[in-house]
Amino acid sequence: MSKPRRERRRVTAVEAVGAYALVCVDRGGLDPGVPGQFFMLEAPGHVLPRPMSLCLAPRGELAFLLDPIGQGTRALAAVDPGDELHVFGPLGHGFRLDVPRPLLVGGGIGIAPLPFLAEALEQPPAVLGFRSEWHAEAAVLVPNAEVVIDPVLVTEVIPAGRDVLACGPEPMLEAIRVIAPAAQLAWEAPMACGYGACHGCVVEIEGELKRLCVEGPVLCFS
């Protein structure tokens, strides 16, 4: 596993992708890691950085997809090319890639790690769910994707017999656990540090509260 590093990196581009923002930084000495791993991004003007899955790793860059709905993510989406941000990672455990029949499933901003994952798995089929047409514009980042829009749910269109790799809101992941118990699921929790120091990101895993940043964010319960 790549050793995480913390570097001050230059923002190379900020693009709107539907309702979301794609923030690109130059890669420097940072390793992109494994799809599903995450980085802590400095949120300008804020005390704590924000955890973001790597979305894409174009040559010499790292790209992060974020939903500017909170103070930290809005500050991040408001950066300009040329600005500098501290970036720390890759962190946590990503997806296992040794799956024979992968199906990527994403919900909302949970599609963030899927473009990088799709690249690593040679563009397997994907099912993506969004709350509006505007949000669904981000589906352009994921090849071979079937898109559903609220009130249709991704769980209504997941075919059987697939190795599911999913990221999305908690109710979606819980619903997937029911229909695909062996699915690899990427969870989300508020984090202060991302490297096991703060104990803030605990989730219940096999009956115990465990740190998602250390044990996850990708978990498989079977």
Partner 1 sequence: MLLMNASGCLDALTAPDVACQFDAFVTKTVTPEPREGNPPTRIAETGFGMLNAIGLANPGRDVFIATTLSRLDRAIGMPIWVSVGGFCVRDYVETCEQLERDDVACIELNLSCPNVDEAPEPAGEIVAACRAAARKPLYVKLSAHSWDVGETVRVVESAGADGISLINTLRGVALDAGLQPVLARATGGYSGPAVKPVALAAVLAARRATQLPIVGMGGVRSGRDALELIACGATHVSLGTVLFADPGAPARVRAELIEECSRAGFESPTEAIGVALDSVVKLAN
The helix/strand/coil state of 173 is helix
49 makes contact with partner 1 (CB under 8 A):
yes
CB 95 within 8 A of CB 35: yes
196 makes contact with partner 1 (CB under 8 A):
yes
> Near partner 1 by CB under 8 A, which window of 27-35, 51-59, 60-68, 196-204?
196-204
28 makes contact with partner 1 (CB under 8 A):
no
> Near partner 1 by CB under 8 A, which window of 51-59, 147-155, 163-171, 207-215?
207-215
**Position 212: which residue type?**
L
1 makes contact with partner 1 (CB under 8 A):
no
Q: Where are the alpha helices (DSSP H) in 83-149?
A: 114-120, 133-136
38 makes contact with partner 1 (CB under 8 A):
no
Residue of 31, 68, 86, 99 that binds partner 1 (CB under 8 A): 86
128: which residues sit within 8 A by CB, 6+ positions away? Answer: 105, 106, 107, 111, 114, 136, 139, 142, 145, 146, 147, 148, 154
Nearest distance, CB of residue 160 and partner 1, angstroms: 33
82 secondary structure, DSSP code:
T
> Near partner 1 by CB under 8 A, which window of 53-61, 99-107, 121-129, 208-216?
208-216
Residue of 35, 36, 51, 72 that binds partner 1 (CB under 8 A): 72
**Position 50: which residue type?**
R
Burial of 198 (0-12, 13-18, 19+ CB in 10 A): middle
6 makes contact with partner 1 (CB under 8 A):
yes
Nearer to partner 1, 69 or 140 (CB): 69
109 makes contact with partner 1 (CB under 8 A):
no
Q: Measuring CA to CA, how many Å separate 99 from each of 1, 96, 121, 161? A: 19, 7, 9, 12
**Residues lying near partner 1 in the complex (CB under 8 A):** 6, 40, 42, 46-49, 71-72, 86, 88, 189-193, 195-203, 208-209, 214
